[in-house]
Structure 1
Amino acid sequence: MASTNEPSFQGWVALDEHSIGHLKWQSYEPKPWEETDVDIEITHCGICGSDLHTLRSGWGPTMYPAVVGHEIVGRAVRVGSQVKHVKVGDRVGVGAQSDSCLNRTTQCGDCSSGQENMCTNHGRCDTYNGVYLNGGKSYGGYGDYNRCPGHFVVKIPEGLDSADAAPMLCAGITTYAPLKNNGCGPGKRVGIIGVGGLGHFGILWAKAFGADRVVGISRREAKRANALQIGADDYIATADDENWLKKNAGTLDLIVCTISSSKMPLREYLGLLDTNGRMIQVGAPEGPLPTIMAFDFIPKGKSLGGSCIGPPWQIQEMLDFAAKKGIKPWVEKRSMKDVNATLIDMEKELARYRYVLVNESHV
Structure 2
Amino acid sequence: MATDTFNGWVGKDLSAADGNLVWEAFTPKAWEETDVDVEITHCGMCGSDLHVLKGGWHEPEFPYVVGHEIVGRAVRVGSKVTGIKVGDRVGVGAQSDSCLNCNLCKDDNENYCPGFVQTYDMRHKNGDRTMGGYADHARIPGHFVINLAPYPNVPSEILAPMLCGGVTMFSPLKKYGAGPGKRVGIIGFGGLGHFGVMWAKALGADEVVVISRSRSKEEDAIKLGATKFIATKDEPDWATKYERSLDLILNTVDSVDMPLQQYLGLLAAMGTLVQIGAPDGNLPGVNGFTLFMANRHLTGTCVGSRKDIREMLQLANDQGIKTWANPFPMSEANEAIKAFNRSEARYRIVLVNEKHLQQDN
TM-score (norm 2): 0.96
Structure 1 residue 112 displacement after superposition: 2.3
User: Gaps (5+ residues) in structure 1?
Assistant: none
Structure 1 residue 239 displacement after superposition: 1.7
Q: Tell me if 1:128 matches 2:120.
A: yes
Q: Tell me if 1:11 matches 2:3.
A: no
Alpha-carbon contact 1:5-1:78 (below 8 Å) kept: no
Match of 1:235 in 2: 229
SS at match of 1:279: strand
SS at match of 1:297: helix
> In the alignment, residue 14 of structure 2 is paired with which amino acid?
E
SS at match of 2:163: helix
**1:265 pairs with one of 246, 259, 263:** 259
> In the alignment, residue 354 of structure 1 is paired with which amino acid?
R
Q: Tell me if 1:185 matches 2:179.
A: yes
% identity of equivalent residues: 52
> In the alignment, residue 125 of structure 1 is paired with which amino acid?
V
SS at match of 1:139: coil
Give CA-to-partner distance per residue, 1:63-121, whole Å, 9 cap, x none: 21110000000011111111111111111110011001112xxxx22112221100123
Match of 1:277 in 2: 271
Structure 1 segments of 4+ aligned residues over 6 angstroms from their partners: 4-7
Q: Tell me if 1:46 matches 2:38.
A: no
Alpha-carbon contact 1:34-1:80 (below 8 Å) kept: yes
Name the CA distance, whole Å, in 1 between partners of 2:175 and 2:156: 26
Alpha-carbon contact 2:39-2:72 (below 8 Å) kept: yes
Match of 1:209 in 2: 203
Match of 1:102 in 2: 100
Structure 1 residue 5 displacement after superposition: 12
Name the CA distance, whole Å, in 2 between partners of 1:58 and 1:296: 30
Name the CA distance, whole Å, in 2 between partners of 1:336 and 1:110: 36
Give CA-to-partner distance per residue, 1:244-264, whole Å, 9 cap, x none: 122211110000111111111
| Paired residue total | 354
Name the CA distance, whole Å, in 2 between partners of 1:134 and 1:292: 41
Alpha-carbon contact 2:5-2:28 (below 8 Å) kept: no
Q: Tell me if 1:166 matches 2:164.
A: no
**2:146 pairs with one of 154, 178, 190:** 154
TM-score (norm 1): 0.95
The verdict on how the C-alpha distance between 1:85 and 1:314 changes in structure 2, with shifts beyond 3 A counting, is same
Name the CA distance, whole Å, in 1 between partners of 2:37 and 2:47: 25
Match of 1:27 in 2: 25
Q: CA RMSD of the aligned region, Å?
A: 1.4
Name the CA distance, whole Å, in 2 between partners of 1:138 and 1:59: 17
Give CA-to-partner distance per residue, 1:254-299, whole Å, 9 cap, x none: 0011111111110110111111110001110011111110111111
Name the CA distance, whole Å, in 1 between partners of 2:11 and 2:3: 24
Q: Tell me if 1:59 matches 2:51.
A: no
Match of 2:170 in 1: 176
